[in-house]
Structure 1
Amino acid sequence: MSTLTKPMPPVPPAPPVKQPPARSGPVQPGWLRVTHWLNVLAVLAMVTSGWRIYNASPIFGFRFPNEITLGGWLGGALRWHFAAMWLLAANGLVYVLFNLTSGRLARRFFPLTWRGVWRDVCAALRGRLAHDDPRQYNQVQRAAYLFAVLDLVLLVVSGLAVWKPVQLGGLCALLGGFQGARLVHFLAMAGLVAFVAVHVAMVALVPRTLRTMITGR
């Protein structure tokens, strides 16, 4: 006896996969661009006036050329330095608060691991570190920006200890006394200058990042 095999019904095509909607809005929000450029101004004034202050009483056996310092003399340099310090502290506080309340800190700077940083460092040295999405930081960028934030905090704290060693005696003692606070302040400044140098070099390699920090896109 033969059996008749009924033909199988055609399989309906799979529904098209919906692509996630393209993210609209600026790559860098307005508040970030404003605080970034105010930080640039404050850091430039602080570092160059700080070099003039350092020249008045060097910690090490060298001085900075007066041509690259700000203030003209010790009193003028101190005025520039303190003005820039308050701008940096107030603007930095706004930057941190906006990053926390908007959730940007968690989205842009984490997760962060030593293994991920090392992987991206190796990729950068081989010229294979991607910059396809300016909204996403690689782990080297995350580590560098977090270092800059913490270094700026240390710069302000140690600067206050140097400025008011008697009134802030506990803070000054925590940093190793007046000379210890001066050394911490100088090393924090050196770390900030190193960060700026690397940051400028990376911007030169990826000029699009400069455009996004000016126009937001």
Structure 2
Amino acid sequence: MSSMTVSEQANAGQAGEETVRKVIQPAWVRIMHWINAVAMIVMIMSGWQIYNASPLFDFQFSRSVTLGGWLGGGLLWHFAAMWVLMINGLLYLVVGLATGRFRRKLLPITPSGVASDLAKAATFRLSHRDLTTYNYVQKLLYAGIILVGIVVVLSGLSIWKPVQFQLLTAVFGGYDTARYVHFFAMASIVAFLIVHIALAVLVPKSLRAMIIGR
């Protein structure tokens, strides 16, 4: 017979439930997040190296922020990271949809909610106490970056194999237009990363949660 009283058992059960609730980011989210982060950084830096070989605009990226050393090297790094990002990203989408995480975390998104939270963020009144729930600005950013990620992959495929994926390339308006779409999608991801990192600096416990889950 257990030596614990009913009250003690109830308290122990409550403590166990609280421990479970403290898990903010499950292991699969953390693992896939960091794999995506590394792959995306490699793709961005190698992509800038590729861009420098045939610029779309009247500027080039500094060699200090590029990867590969030259066009061929940049392409090797880019394609290597591409497969990692595609496979890991696809798994992330499948698991996120199958577990209902995307529905719970990212929906609903309403214009009024976004406007309200943006106003609070602008005046530093947006609360980050409960990391288990995203505010409307976070929902919009995270849902948006998923869509941008899909666009950057598809436009990248249309640039990589414009003949084999000619229908996909046509959807983007042709090879040249696909390059611009790819560039601006990449720029959007860089902008997101800046905001994302700034949030991690301002709210350190969000970074801790993505490392240890709690």
TM-score, length of structure 2 as denominator length: 0.90
Q: Deviations over 1:96-147 (max 9, x none)?
A: 1111111111111111111111110001011110111110000100000011
| Separation of aligned partners in 1, 2:98 and 2:19 | 20
The C-alpha deviation readout for 1:18-44, integer Å capped at 9, x for no partner, is x9x646152100000000000110000
Structure 1 match to 2:157: 160
What residue in structure 2 maps to residue 174 of structure 1? Answer: 171
Q: Does 1:31 align with 2:28?
A: yes
Tell me the equivalent position of 1:121: 118
Which blocks of at least 5 consecutive residues in structure 2 are unaligned?
1-13
RMSD after superposition:
1.2
Aligned length: 198
* Correspondence 1:1-217 to 2 at 5 A: 22=18, 24-25=20-21, 26-217=23-214
Pair 54,151 (structure 1): closer, same or farther in 2 beyond 3 Å: same
CA distance in 1, matches of 2:109, 2:18: 26
Distance between the aligned counterparts of 1:177 and 1:107, measured in 2?
37
Quote the Cα distance in structure 1 between the aligned partners of 2:84 and 2:182.
17
Distance apart, 1:167 and its partner CA: 1.1
CA distance in 2, matches of 1:137, 1:112: 10
What percent identity do the matched residue pairs reach?
50
4+ residue stretches of structure 1 with deviation over 2 A? none
SS in 2 for 1:24: helix
Show CA shifts across 1:170-207 (max 9, x none).
11111111110000000000000000001111111101
Which of the pair has more CA radius of gyration? 1
Q: Which structure carries more helix by proportion? A: 2
Unaligned residue ranges in structure 1 (runs of 5+):
1-18
